[in-house]
Chains A and B, each alone.
Chain A
Amino acid sequence: MTKTRQGLIGGAFGALAVLGLTQPLAAQDDKLLMVTSTFPMTSPTPYAESNAQMYSVWCQTYGCLGRYNYAAKEYQGILVENWEVVDPTTWRFKLREDLVRHDGGPGPTTADVLHSYDRVLNDPASIQKNIFSEVETIRAVDDYTFEIVTKKPLASLLSYIFDRFIITSAELAEANENPDEDAAFGWGPYKLASYMLDQEIALEKNDDFPGISADAPDTAVFRQIREAEQRVTALMNGEVQIARLIPPQLVSRLEGNDAISLAQSPSIEPMFLAFNPKFEPWTDKRVRQAAAHSINKDLIIDRFLMGLADKMDGPLGEQQICYTGPLDFVIDYNPEKARALLAEAGYENGGPKVEFMTASGRYISDRQVSEIVTQMMTEVGFEVDLQVPEYANLTAAMRAGELPMYYLGRGLFLDPSEPLSQYLETDVTQRIGYSSPELDALLQQERQTLDFDERCKIVRQAAELIAEEVPMFFMWSHRLVHGVSKGIEWDASADGEIWLSDVKM
């Protein structure tokens, strides 16, 4: 370590600076990976959180059915080795038999799956019930085979459960009063070493996991640092080796730093404007289109987001399932057309007045993007009243269908099926208040079409319809930018999470 140098510079600070900075107590040859985290860490119970990071952490420790490999664009098993669709409502999964539990116990069995299913549904701490919202039941076939029965044919079943259904041991739950704290053993490639609420989660490599790489970190620590400036400083200091989610304006601080490389990936969180047709003037399709035509996405991406976003023309981008290339109907930036459409809709003398709500600090530059959108819409004649309510107020009003226009993102938009239904299918939620029998029919049909290519054709039809009707106007998905210390190899994936056994140190 650089003890002396720090001691010299820090002379004025006396004893405080004598020791090296953050010297871990772990042995020198241990490969320790410190990673920043912005997600809450509120409970060691694997069913008590529902966010991408915690699903990923529990998936790697306890184990889940499998994960989506963004590079290969396919689902890959972890605890299951294969699966098949038996009939339109029945999926059969086969568990692996070569796994050993972290404490030396037996590998996962159907009993564990059923136990976990019960916990998701009935554990008082669970907030994950929604992953089984379309599932009728899970039944055992034999010790290593089980079947998931859906209420209706559901093509996108895997997107609900595959990497979110965390399997914990029935046996350990039986033997321990607090299994999540006292017997946190699973079957994944990493085991839980420690959990400090809202501070850090430490994982250790499970060397018994079949085929685990020797280059993968021996210990990985997810440390919560919410402020972006602090994440960058921590990376430059060597306090962490991977600083995740660096906003565009801070990227330049890392560029040109020889000890740090930047890892980038597209994301699966589309950012969109919603125009609620239950409110004037959004009842009129032409006004919605006019608003969309007024927005110069390229300019915003280029000049404000520093190029770190992928423009979207419809609900799907390249990273998402069922993306079939650019749509035929695209609303481009065209202020003249926007003015003409407004005139056609009866607003030739200026107006209409609209209320526009946005979040602040929830998504990358959300408030600032909304300010730009406000000015762009103003330029074609809208009178925009932009407001930034507290987030709790914003979401409450959004869910209650009380917002005429808003700018938000939708995370976990890997498979379009569920998000589109949530926002746009009649009365599924009140979020947008859009209703179209034609779109409803397409979305229902899409869900029940188990043939992948066939399904994606229907999704495309729905996407075209949405692009033209513009109840939602898709803007872009932000690039996920991470700073990575030299000597660490990691391919960032579109969910921003780190699959530790893929990291090379």
Chain B
Amino acid sequence: MKFDFLNLKFIIGAFLLGFVLFLALFGNLITPFTANKQSLMDSLLPPLSGGHILGTDHLGRDILARMISGARVSLAIAASVVVISGVVGVIVGALSGYLRGTWDLVTQKIVESFWAFPPILLAIAILAFFGQSLTNVILALTIQRWIPYSRMSRAQAMVLRSLAYVESSRVMGGGLAWVMRRHILPNLMASAIIVGTFSMATAILAEASLSFLGLGVPPQIATWGGMLAEGRSYITRAWWLAVMPGVGIFITVLSLNLLGDWLRDQYDPKKTLNLI
């Protein structure tokens, strides 16, 4: 594929995401405060007061420090979710499409069941069952996100399977692992990355929704979703509590979506129609 780096979507998307990543990586240099240090005497300070660039929250914690720490955690959660679900989904789907037969039949029923599940509910049930922790939130968000990868990979693997060179390589005695690694998986990468970009965006939003329902990560870990959920009831009194993480989520999700759109445009749109 040929990349068109002058595309406006790429420019906006890359700039915004770059900004967020920069903040996550080097933000500590801007603020002397730490994310969890409370100071009740300094609670609800507006931005640019008392040395707090983005102000303080209801417990007097520095919002910039929390935004930075939150950026890391939120991005890490979303990235883990995307990578895990991508690997699982692509492998399951590719095997399904390549092997067909019983394996396909069984996995398709499982895929269908996971898919038929009302999304947030499965996450709630998982968190109720396993308890709340960072890993379990990732698990809860992953549990249904591998489905789109697997559906897409299955469809593409079926096509690849019948291609002449894949067929001949199989006839010549190439083992399953070899054919998969050599011919199938590399061809699925592009679409998987596109799906992953959009999926990362929804994972960030889903984490926020879990926090809203009181099912987010433990309190000593700052996430944008958690900050937004907590800050919402201060919106008329101290707007910066919710607006800052809201903006963080907004630009990250927006940039991921724009980049995903751009990537898809670069790729063959016909093959990516079903990539959400």
Contact = CB atoms under 8 A, between A and B. Distances in A.
Q: Do chains A and B touch in the complex (CB under 8 A)?
A: yes
B186 to A, nearest CB: 42
Interface string B53-91: 000001110000000000000000000000000000000
B234 interface: yes
Contact of A372 (B38, B127, B234, B236): B38
B131 interface: yes
B159 to A, nearest CB: 44
Q: Would you call the interface of chain B mostly helix, strand, loop, or mixed?
A: loop
Contact of B233 (A229, A374, A375, A390): A229
A299 B38 CA distance: 13
A225 to B, nearest CB: 14
A126 B58 CA distance: 42
B214 A303 contact: no
Contact of B218 (A253, A368, A387): A387
Given A304-B58, A372-B59, A386 B218 contact: yes
Instruction: Choose among A247, A250, A387, A390 the residue with the greatest number of B CB atoms under 10 Å from its CB.
Output: A390
A288 interface: no
A361 B58 CA distance: 15
Q: Would you call the interface of chain A mostly helix, strand, loop, or mixed?
A: helix
Contacts of A367: 219
Given A304-B59, A370-B219, A390 B127 contact: yes
B48 interface: no
Interface in B214-234: 214-215, 218-220, 230, 232-234
A393 B131 contact: yes
A247 B233 contact: yes
A249 B58 contact: yes
Contacts of A361: 214
A249 B214 contact: no
Nearest to B60: A303
Interface in B3-43: 36, 38, 40-41, 43
B62 to A, nearest CB: 14
Contacts of A371: 38, 59, 219-220
Contacts of B232: 229
A375 B41 CA distance: 14
A392 B235 CA distance: 29
B105 interface: no
Nearest to A358: B219
Contacts of A390: 127-128, 131-132, 214-215
A232 to B, nearest CB: 8
Interface string A343-373: 0000000000000000011000001101110
A371 to B, nearest CB: 5
Instruction: Choose among B60, B127, B230, B233 the residue with the greatest number of A CB atoms under 10 Å from its CB.
Output: B233
Contacts of A368: 58-59, 230
B270 interface: no
Interface of A: 228-229, 247, 249-250, 252-253, 299-300, 303-304, 360-361, 367-368, 370-372, 374-375, 386-393
25 contacts: A229-B232, A229-B233, A249-B58, A249-B233, A249-B234, A250-B233, A250-B236, A250-B237, A252-B236, A303-B41, A304-B58, A367-B219, A368-B230, A370-B219, A371-B220, A372-B38, A386-B219, A386-B220, A387-B132, A388-B218, A389-B132, A390-B127, A390-B131, A393-B128, A393-B131
Given A229-B232, A386-B219, 18 more contacts: A228-B233, A229-B235, A249-B233, A249-B237, A250-B233, A252-B237, A299-B41, A304-B58, A361-B214, A372-B38, A372-B40, A386-B220, A387-B132, A387-B218, A389-B131, A390-B131, A392-B128, A393-B131
